[in-house]
Amino acid sequence: RKEVEQDPGPFNVPEGATVAFNCTYSNSASQSFFWYRQDCRKEPKLLMSVYSSGNEDGRFTAQLNRASQYISLLIRDSKLSDSATYLCVVNEVTGSGYSTLTFGKGTMLLVSP
């Protein structure tokens, strides 16, 4: 069974801190990688895609290491509004040729004043 593993946390950090999450995936054939964010009792929403060369979006930086099959997310200058669960997501291609997503359980981040 293809899996995506994450530390569930919670990560408790003060405002302004830098925090990093890692995720490992088991399917070496996966080609697309994402971080989704899920607020308490809300639906998941795409935070950012993860590209092989690494990518940055404001305070958020995502990295991919294909050789080790892990993905990271770095959040700088944490805000109270960053408190959420961060889901690591990896695509799978089924035997029928369709692309589906496999989600990790998520890492909870709590940012305190």
Partner 1 sequence: ETGVTQTPRHLVMGMTNKKSLKCEQHLGHNAMYWYKQSAKKPLELMFVYSLEERVENNSVPSRFSPECPNSSHLFLHLHTLQPEDSALYLCASSQEVYADTTYEQYFGPGTRLTVT
Distance, C-alpha 18 to centroid of its chain = 15
Residue 53 vs residues 38, 49, 63: alpha-carbon distances, Å: 25, 12, 7
Residues of 61-97 as b/e, b for ≥16 C-beta within 10 angstroms? bbbbeeeebebbbebeebeeebbbbbbbbbbbeeeee
Interface residue with partner 1 among 19, 106, 107, 109 (CB under 8 A) is 106
97 scored as a contact of partner 1 (CB under 8 A): yes
Candidate residues 35, 104, 107, 108; the one interacting with partner 1 per rule CB under 8 A? 104
Site for partner 1 in 1-20 (CB under 8 A): 4
User: Identity (one letter) of the amino acid at 55?
Assistant: N
Q: Does 43 bind partner 1 (CB under 8 A)?
A: yes
Only one of the segments 18-26, 51-59, 71-79, 104-112 lies at the binding site for partner 1 (rule: CB under 8 A); that segment is 104-112
> Which stretches of the chain bind partner 1, using CB under 8 A?
4, 31-32, 34, 42-46, 49, 87, 91, 93-94, 96-106
